[in-house]
Chain A
Amino acid sequence: MSKEYLGEFEELVLTMVGVLGEEAYGNAIVTEIKDRVGRDVNLSAVHVTLYRLEDKGLVKSHMGGATNSRGGRRKRIFTITNAGLAMLRAMKEARMDLWKLIPQLKIAGS
């Protein structure tokens, strides 16, 4: 695993960028997190996190096409990079390794 440490919220946002593919921009991530995880997150927090992930090279961004809504502003679309995917995978594997170490309890009667 790389030395770079990923916070819980960072990981969540990074995952969502991966999930949304070409439709990953700030607002979509907020709605997606709310729909899928049921968590109310702040738009500004998501933005700040996205820029931080970009600094770490885990996502990259480009401006989308012109829109009619949003006061005519374009979207900044984020896409996950290979490094980002590798990071997510590494974290998942590390977690699974740890998970296997927990004695699995079976609920009696089932």
Chain B
Amino acid sequence: MKKANHDPPRWPLRFLAWFCPPWLLEGIEGDLLEQFDDDVRSAGISVARQRLYWNVLRLFRPSIILRNRFLFSLHSIMIRSYITVASRNIVKRKLYSFINAVGLSIGIAFCILIYLFIQDESSFDKFHANGDYIYRMHSVMYTGSRAADKQGSPYEKISQVQLALAPTMKAEIPEVQYATHFCTNHAILRKDDKVFNESIVYVDADFFRMFSFPMQAGNVDKIFTSKDEIVLTPAIAEKYFGTSPALGQVLMLGDRSLTVTGIIDAPPANSSLQFQVLLPVEGWGAYHQRNLDMWMNLGFPTFVQLYPSATAANLQPALDQLTHKYMKQELTQWRERDKVPAGEEPYRIGFLKLTDIHLAKDIGWDKVSDPQYAWILGGIAVLILLIACINYISLALTSSARRRMEVGVRKVIGAYRRQLVYQFGFESVMLALLSMVIGFILVVLFLPAFNQFTGKDIALQATNLYTLAGISIGITVLVGLLAGCYPALYLSGFRPVQVLKGTFTAHLSAGFSRPLIIMQFAFSSFLIISSVIMYKQMEFVTTKDLGYNQHQLIVIPTQAGWRENSNLVIEQFRNRAAGIPSVVSVAGTDYPFAGNDWMVFGYDVNGTQKATYGFTVDAHYIKTLGIDMVMGRDFDPNNFADTVKTIIVNEALVKDMQWTDPLHERLNFHGRDPQAEGSRIIGVVKDFHFLSLAETIKPMFLTMDRNDGRLTNMLVRIDAKNIPATIAQLKKDFAAIVPGKPFEYSFLDENVSQQYASFNRWMNIMSLATGFAILISCLGLFGLAGINAVNRTREIGIRKVMGANLSNIFILLNRQFIILSLVAWMLAAPLAWYSMQQWLAKFQFHITMSWYLFAIAMMAGLVVALAAVSYHTVKAALVNPSESLKYE
């Protein structure tokens, strides 16, 4: 065998020599080689090699590397010099550093905020110990053509399932360990004189075993064994019982007395399940045998937990079996009625893991969110960061003329190019680090506003502070290198001979910085155009005539429940309110629109499925809302016949039914009885927007028939004078009619604008981003213009001597910025047009993007840009030529 085979591998030893302090190297290397030889003899060459590699790798640790005294001290001298030079430069050019630091810190702050946002999004529902085994059930319904306005799938998914599903699954599917309902409702709770309308949730006893919401008091094993129990969050308990312990106390729900058997922590903001008051589902009015038997009644959100050993894949066949067992007849009917093609299922029960429900935007849920949001926000953050980086690069390039001497002298003295690169790179990283600190402060300052914009509740905690610090240092170094890389290479490339001889022209060679400025301008223009269009659309939405008068209209729930009694409350209230001069009129309705609730009736006309919204109202409704009639007559309060099978429809319904003479038609909107004669139509109202402007005006009718609905809300029109006094009076009257019930009111116009809250939020985010983008790019322009003006001082002086006046010079200096911004704008406009087209498509009623919106945006951008550069140009133009020609 050749001796070469017993040679130790060369790479690890070279690696060792690279990082190991030289004065330790010999001893270590010797030991390693000795061991290697021993190993070759005792265990063979491959083991010996492995061991050598492993040993070298193990030596690569701070306690060895940091012993590099000599090596390190050499570097540290240079590093100290870099730091000194960098800090001198930063301090010397205050404006330049300020511009860069502002831009970078805002960019970094944005990135950190977006990171927090994404982290919060992905932390949703991750805190449950059993989270891996908990699933939410949902219904998958074949809607075929009716789902035409949704793209793609003919199926619709809703998070509502049968009341009986939870107990049935637990009893019949062996994989299921626990099951609970999660049905949100409202109830009025009372403790002596404290009466509040609370949002409550009906759950099963299993709820407390499945989810990890910590109990502060109460026995988890014994909770909800009786129907008359209630579990509260600490805030609610304090509301009713003050500081005295709530456990064991009694709360009244109607005439039932409920014992508080548990105090549970309020769910954190990143929980999809939100609740304040928990009640046992068995005590719910809706929990009766008839509802348990009705497998077509979907309205009860349900969660199940599987055994850890169970596989979720087995669940789907078991669920299909359940539907076939309990819904056989209904499914056949459904298939025939909706003409479900063979191979498609009219109805199935599906399930989704708890941790996935937050981002499952196709199934409606309380806090469901679209992952797209994170992408858009992230995109904006990166754009802003890019703009800031471009600032840095273009400022560094255009001011390079000032540093060419420095580079030349350094090179002559003997600096390597690499050292110069290090120096310039060090400068940018240091500036980025400085910006990071400012950025961090900005994050702390902006977090509350950011929470408001995004509707989140993010807090800076010690736990995420470390990752946050890591992330921001990562971003910072990356940005520092990204921004510093090109200038460093460019600046270090100067030839000392040329530089020092002075043949280098004073003109900046800005070949590369122009495209950068165009890019930066294009980003800003894009944001400006987008926010102008968004602003216009929101203005349109809030000022559009909705077809009724939504102002000075108060909505008051009667709090009497879905009962005949509620109608009487309104009658009494109207009589009393007649005595208040500032009340114009009072009307009753079942669903005041601009909420999430309404009634939709589905029926069948000659084989096509149709649907219409139906509102139960009283005879004062149309007058109170100020809706226009186009045909026929309003309801007559004195005509009893109007309360029986009589409706008023809107134009959309007439069109939908293709009636030519609607007053002689009848509409049978109850799909369950196709043979019935239907209701007569006494009038047609002009279309009004009872849905948000994101929707078209759908077919709708108004009825006074008590069989179609109950009047649970009052609409009170008041005049604009002294609204607080009027409300106080209304409260008094309400208390006299329905004693012991809370008086809650809202203004209809506020409820209506609430529908656009999410759109508004996006507009706010966009305008914030636009503001920052403009600020950063203007600062960049400002700096650039300043350097430009200084570079051309002599030229300006000569021109002035030759007779140029102020405006000539102004135009001369600004011309290039105007051309650049026009080019940028032309790049940005189509992009903005496309993306705004997408955004506006979410509204059925929207503005058209006319050219003047783009023109406004362009003018705005141009004016701001000119304003930014003008300071320097005017200053340069005003300098006395005798001063400027003295220069150099």
Residues of A within 8 A of B (CB): 25-27, 30, 42-45, 47-48, 51-52, 61, 63, 67, 69-71, 73-76
Q: Contacts A42-B55, A42-B58 known; A69 to B26 CB distance under 8 Å?
A: no
Please give, as numbers and ranges, the residues of chain A lying within 8 Å of B28 by CB-CB distance.
26, 47, 76
Please give, as numbers and ranges, the residues of chain B lying within 8 Å of A75 by CB-CB distance.
27, 30-31
Please give, as numbers and ranges, the residues of chain A lying within 8 Å of B24 by CB-CB distance.
51, 76
Q: Is the CB of B31 within 8 A of A43?
A: yes
Q: B209: CB under 8 A from chain A?
A: no
Interface SS, B side: helix
Q: B34: CB under 8 A from chain A?
A: yes
Q: B705: CB under 8 A from chain A?
A: no
Q: Contacts A43-B35, A48-B64, A51-B67 known; A73 to B30 CB distance under 8 Å?
A: yes
Q: Is the CB of A70 within 8 A of B33?
A: yes
Q: Is the CB of B61 within 8 A of A48?
A: yes
Q: Is the CB of A74 within 8 A of B30?
A: yes
Closest partner residue, chain B, to A74 (CB atom): B26
Q: B63: CB under 8 A from chain A?
A: yes
Q: B59: CB under 8 A from chain A?
A: yes
Provide the bound-state CA to CA distance between A76 and B28, in Å. Answer: 8
Q: Which of B32, B37, B56, B61 contacts A69 (CB under 8 A)?
A: B37
Q: B628: CB under 8 A from chain A?
A: no
Q: B29: CB under 8 A from chain A?
A: yes
Q: Which of A47, A52, A69 contacts B34 (CB under 8 A)?
A: A69
For the complex of A and B, list the 7 residue pairs with the smallest distance between their C-beta atoms, beginning with the closest: A76-B27, A73-B30, A44-B58, A26-B31, A70-B30, A44-B59, A71-B33
Provide the bound-state CA to CA distance between A51 and B34, in Å. Answer: 19
Q: Is the CB of B64 within 8 A of A51?
A: yes
Q: Is the CB of B67 within 8 A of A73?
A: no
Please give, as numbers and ranges, the residues of chain A lying within 8 Å of B37 by CB-CB distance.
69-70
23 A-B contact pairs sorted by A residue (CB < 8 Å) = A26-B31, A42-B55, A42-B58, A43-B31, A44-B58, A44-B59, A47-B31, A47-B59, A47-B64, A48-B64, A51-B63, A51-B64, A63-B27, A69-B37, A70-B34, A71-B8, A73-B26, A73-B27, A73-B30, A74-B26, A75-B30, A76-B30, A76-B31
Provide the bound-state CA to CA distance between A74 and B26, in Å. Answer: 7
Q: Is the CB of B30 within 8 A of A71?
A: yes
Provide the bound-state CA to CA distance between A61 and B58, in Å. Answer: 22
Q: Which of A43, A52, A76 contacts B32 (CB under 8 A)?
A: A43
Provide the bound-state CA to CA distance between A88 and B290, in Å. Answer: 84
Q: Is the CB of B29 within 8 A of A71?
A: yes
Q: Which of A42, A47, A51, A63 contacts B26 (CB under 8 A)?
A: A63
Provide the bound-state CA to CA distance between A43 and B37, in Å. Answer: 14
Closest-CB distance, B29 to chain A (whole angstroms): 5
Provide the bound-state CA to CA distance between A43 and B31, in Å. Answer: 8
Closest-CB distance, A63 to chain B (whole angstroms): 7
Closest-CB distance, B701 to chain A (whole angstroms): 85
Q: Which of A44, A70, A71 contacts B55 (CB under 8 A)?
A: A44
Residues of B within 8 A of A (CB): 8, 24, 26-35, 37-38, 54-56, 58-59, 61, 63-64, 67
Closest partner residue, chain B, to A50 (CB atom): B27
Provide the bound-state CA to CA distance between A44 and B27, in Å. Answer: 12
Q: Is the CB of A27 within 8 A of B35?
A: yes
Closest-CB distance, A28 to chain B (whole angstroms): 9
Q: Which of B34, B58, B61, B63 contacts A27 (CB under 8 A)?
A: B34
Closest partner residue, chain B, to A72 (CB atom): B30
Please give, as numbers and ranges, the residues of chain B lying within 8 Å of A70 by CB-CB distance.
30-31, 33-34, 37
Provide the bound-state CA to CA distance between A76 and B24, in Å. Answer: 8
Please give, as numbers and ranges, the residues of chain B lying within 8 Å of A26 by CB-CB distance.
27-28, 31
Q: Is the CB of A74 within 8 A of B27?
A: yes
Closest partner residue, chain A, to B32 (CB atom): A43
Closest partner residue, chain B, to A73 (CB atom): B30
Q: Is the CB of A73 within 8 A of B55?
A: no
Provide the bound-state CA to CA distance between A52 and B61, in Å. Answer: 13
Most chain B Cβ neighbours within 10 Å, of A27, A45, A70: A70
Please give, as numbers and ranges, the residues of chain A lying within 8 Å of B56 by CB-CB distance.
44
Provide the bound-state CA to CA distance between A48 and B62, in Å. Answer: 10
Please give, as numbers and ranges, the residues of chain B lying within 8 Å of A48 by CB-CB distance.
59, 61, 63-64
Closest-CB distance, B746 to chain A (whole angstroms): 68
Please give, as numbers and ranges, the residues of chain A lying within 8 Å of B35 by CB-CB distance.
27, 30, 43
Provide the bound-state CA to CA distance between A42 and B39, in Å. Answer: 13
Closest partner residue, chain B, to A47 (CB atom): B28
Provide the bound-state CA to CA distance between A30 and B34, in Å. Answer: 12
Please give, as numbers and ranges, the residues of chain A lying within 8 Å of B8 by CB-CB distance.
71
Closest partner residue, chain B, to A29 (CB atom): B31
Q: Is the CB of B27 within 8 A of A43?
A: no
Provide the bound-state CA to CA distance between A52 and B31, in Å. Answer: 18
Please give, as numbers and ranges, the residues of chain A lying within 8 Å of B27 by CB-CB distance.
25-26, 61, 63, 73-76
Closest-CB distance, B60 to chain A (whole angstroms): 9
Please give, as numbers and ranges, the residues of chain A lying within 8 Å of B63 by CB-CB distance.
48, 51-52
Closest-CB distance, A71 to chain B (whole angstroms): 4
Provide the bound-state CA to CA distance between A43 and B34, in Å. Answer: 11
Provide the bound-state CA to CA distance between A67 and B311, in Å. Answer: 67
Q: Contacts A51-B63, A69-B34 known; A45 to B58 CB distance under 8 Å?
A: yes
Please give, as numbers and ranges, the residues of chain B lying within 8 Å of A67 by CB-CB distance.
30
Provide the bound-state CA to CA distance between A90 and B30, in Å. Answer: 34
Provide the bound-state CA to CA distance between A16 and B887, in Å. Answer: 76
Most chain B Cβ neighbours within 10 Å, of A30, A42, A73: A73
Closest-CB distance, B53 to chain A (whole angstroms): 11
Q: Which of A47, A73, A76 contacts B33 (CB under 8 A)?
A: A73
Provide the bound-state CA to CA distance between A67 and B29, in Å. Answer: 13
Provide the bound-state CA to CA distance between A71 and B55, in Å. Answer: 17
Please give, as numbers and ranges, the residues of chain B lying within 8 Å of A42 by CB-CB distance.
54-55, 58
Q: Is the CB of B64 within 8 A of A76?
A: no
Closest-CB distance, A61 to chain B (whole angstroms): 8
Closest-CB distance, A96 to chain B (whole angstroms): 32
Please give, as numbers and ranges, the residues of chain A lying within 8 Å of B58 by CB-CB distance.
42, 44-45
Please give, as numbers and ranges, the residues of chain B lying within 8 Å of A27 by CB-CB distance.
31, 34-35, 38
Closest-CB distance, B656 to chain A (whole angstroms): 82
Please give, as numbers and ranges, the residues of chain B lying within 8 Å of A63 by CB-CB distance.
26-27
Closest-CB distance, B795 to chain A (whole angstroms): 65
Q: Is the CB of B26 within 8 A of A76?
A: yes
Q: Contacts A51-B63, A51-B64 known; A43 to B29 CB distance under 8 Å?
A: no
Most chain B Cβ neighbours within 10 Å, of A30, A51, A63: A51
Closest-CB distance, A27 to chain B (whole angstroms): 4
Please give, as numbers and ranges, the residues of chain B lying within 8 Å of A73 by CB-CB distance.
26-27, 29-30, 33
Please give, as numbers and ranges, the residues of chain A lying within 8 Å of B26 by CB-CB distance.
63, 73-74, 76
Closest-CB distance, B4 to chain A (whole angstroms): 14
Provide the bound-state CA to CA distance between A27 and B29, in Å. Answer: 11
Provide the bound-state CA to CA distance between A43 and B24, in Å. Answer: 14
Q: Contacts A48-B64, A73-B26 known; A25 to B31 CB distance under 8 Å?
A: yes
Closest-CB distance, B262 to chain A (whole angstroms): 49
Provide the bound-state CA to CA distance between A47 and B56, in Å. Answer: 11
Closest-CB distance, B721 to chain A (whole angstroms): 82
Provide the bound-state CA to CA distance between A52 and B8, in Å. Answer: 28
With contacts A26-B31, A75-B31 known, what are 20 further pairs, Cβ within 8 A? A25-B27, A26-B27, A43-B35, A43-B55, A47-B28, A47-B59, A51-B24, A51-B64, A69-B37, A70-B31, A70-B33, A71-B8, A73-B27, A73-B29, A73-B33, A74-B27, A75-B30, A76-B26, A76-B28, A76-B31
Closest-CB distance, A11 to chain B (whole angstroms): 18
Closest-CB distance, A98 to chain B (whole angstroms): 31
Closest partner residue, chain A, to B58 (CB atom): A44
